[in-house]
Amino acid sequence: MTTSSTKRLLQALNKQELDRPPFWLMRQAGRYLPEYKQTRANAGSFLDLCYNPSLAEEVTLQPLRRYDLDAAILFADILLIPDALGQPLAYKEGEGPVLDPISSAKELAGLSVEKIHDRLNPVYETVNRLSSSLPDHCTLIGFAGAPWTVATYMVEGRGSKDYVAIKKWIYSDPDGFQKLMDILIFSTTEYLLKQVEAGAEVLQIFDTWAGVLPDVEFKKWVIEPTRKIIDAIRKIHPDLPIIGFPKGVGGNLIDFVKSTGVTAVSLDTATPLPWAAREIQPHVVVQGNLDPISLVIGGQAMVDRIHQILEELSGGAHIFNLGHGIIPQTPPENVALLAETLHNWKK
Ligand code: CP3
């Protein structure tokens, strides 16, 4: 990364002093925007949208036309990896993703790492298009799910409340489960490297369900795979900024930032900010952490909370974001108020 970048997000990731933090929002493209719903309806299925470079480019750009954001995040989904590996996947209305679950090492024979790029090529084409269509001040973020979170969907077959199926597997046959993780570590590394080749300037690794594991398993199935992916990427791109998002892990966040090699960490909504300023910010750049529900409510309560976050994290490098993704009930005008509040704030 060059220190002379004029892009605010890259400057923050480089720990440069700024008058205000850069900002972007997790799930900034999506169903809260009427124009997304329109494009989504024209695309057919959600997967058709993800694999259509011109429509995926369009929905990535939609939030930038409304708000002066400092970054765009590639429009895709963390479950494109199981899809590309050959595990049948569908997104069902009102239910979310549904996959044919895999629950033992024997069933891994059905997955194939050789041909993932054949399926994923349209995603790289989307990145390529965005790298020339984005406004100059905007940074392009590529992403993937972390192996643990992707595995939860592959093994449970859908979103889960208790993670019984995957925990049964990790406790009864850790060596067999490691084989699934190795497949995911390899394919996720390849996927992210291709995104960088196509023009992604920053990567974010989403580990939404990192918080359901006890300490020992957290190290083995969250920290280790993330560290391996980051090591492999840094061999080729030593200075590439990488943001981790292990959601809901409490005090284990300290170990995560010290052990994985992330440049920055996204703080979930529950993370206490004075603690993060003291324990996390001295090591890595922090991102976050407005409650997405505060963005649904809006008004002065949201503005006050935004100011509080800005003050509490103003002693070090900070990227403003939510503590989790925007939800479909969010009024678009509240996002405009958030953008205005951030642009008017000065350190
Ligand atoms: O941030 C962005 O705007 C980029 C696109 C993006 C999507 N999913 C699009 C999407 C990103 C970064 C993701 C990440 C993702 N996907 C995560 C990790 C982050 C998080 O929110 O926890 C997870 C766990 C998934 C898996 C997934 N995809 C679920 C559980 C669902 C169903 C729930 C839901 O929100 O509908 C999806 C579908 C999905 N991914 C949609 C979008 C816009 C909605 C699909 C639709 O339009 O019908």
Active-site residue identified among 20, 36, 70, 77? 77
Task: Look at residue 167 in the predicted model and tell me its pLDDT.
Answer: 98
Residue 255 annotated to the active site: no
Task: Look at residue 4 in the predicted model and tell me its pLDDT.
Answer: 66
299-312 helix and 332-344 helix, angle to the nearest 10 degrees: 40
Tell me the whole-structure pTM to 2 decimals.
0.97
Q: Which two tokens stand for residue 305?
A: 């909370």
- The label of the residue with tokens 């859908």 reads 158
- Domains in the chain: boundaries: 8-344
What number of H helices and E strands is found in the chain?
16, 9
- The torsion region of residue 47 among left (phi > 0), alpha (psi -120 to 50) and beta comes to alpha
Of 19, 328, 24, 17, the closest CA to residue 201 belongs to 24
Rounded Cα distance between 226 and 206, Å, is 10
Task: Look at residue 40 in the predicted model and tell me its pLDDT.
Answer: 96
Q: Which two tokens stand for residue 296?
A: 């649904």
Residue 278 annotated to the active site: no
Instruction: Give the gyration radius of the chain's Cα atoms.
Output: 19
Q: Which residues pair with 142 in a beta bridge?
A: 203
Helix (H, G, I), strand (E, B) or coil at 51: coil
For residues 166 and 210, the answer to whether their CB atoms sit within 8 Å is no
Helix (H, G, I), strand (E, B) or coil at 56: helix
Helix (H, G, I), strand (E, B) or coil at 222: helix
Rounded Cα distance between 184 and 221, Å, is 11
Rounded Cα distance between 208 and 268, Å, is 10
Rounded Cα distance between 266 and 154, Å, is 24
Q: Which residues line ligand 1 (CB under 6 A)?
A: 26-31, 40, 46, 73, 75, 77-79, 91, 96-97, 143, 159, 206, 208, 325
Q: Quick one: how far is CA 113 from the chain centroid?
A: 22
**Length of the chain counted residue by residue:** 347
Task: Look at residue 347 in the predicted model and tell me its pLDDT.
Answer: 80
Q: Residue 322: in which H helix or E strand, if any?
A: strand 318-322
What end-to-end distance do the CA atoms of the chain give, in Å? 25
Mutate to test the pocket of ligand 1, among 26, 27, 153 (most ligand atoms within 8 A of CB): 27
Of 213, 237, 229, the closest CA to residue 261 belongs to 229
Amino acid letter, 301: A
Task: Look at residue 5 in the predicted model and tell me its pLDDT.
Answer: 87
Rounded Cα distance between 98 and 39, Å, is 22
Q: Give residue 272 CA to ligand 1 midpoint distance, Å.
A: 26
Which residue owns the Cα nearest ligand 1 atom 35? 96
pLDDT in tens, 91-146: 998 889 999 999 999 999 999 999 999 999 999 999 999 999 999 999 999 999 99
Residue 31 annotated to the active site: yes
Of 128, 252, 248, 109, the closest CA to residue 183 belongs to 109
For residues 309 and 289, the answer to whether their CB atoms sit within 8 Å is yes
> What are the residues whose beta carbons fall under 8 Å from the beta carbon of 72, sequence distance 6 or more?
24, 28, 60, 61, 63, 64, 130, 134, 138, 139, 140, 141
Which residue owns the Cα nearest ligand 1 atom 2? 27
For residues 188 and 195, the answer to whether their CB atoms sit within 8 Å is no
Mean pLDDT by 10 residues, the chain (347 residues): 79 96 97 97 96 98 98 98 97 93 95 96 98 97 98 97 97 98 98 98 98 97 98 98 98 98 98 98 98 98 98 97 98 98 92
**CATH fold of 8-344:** TIM Barrel (3.20.20)
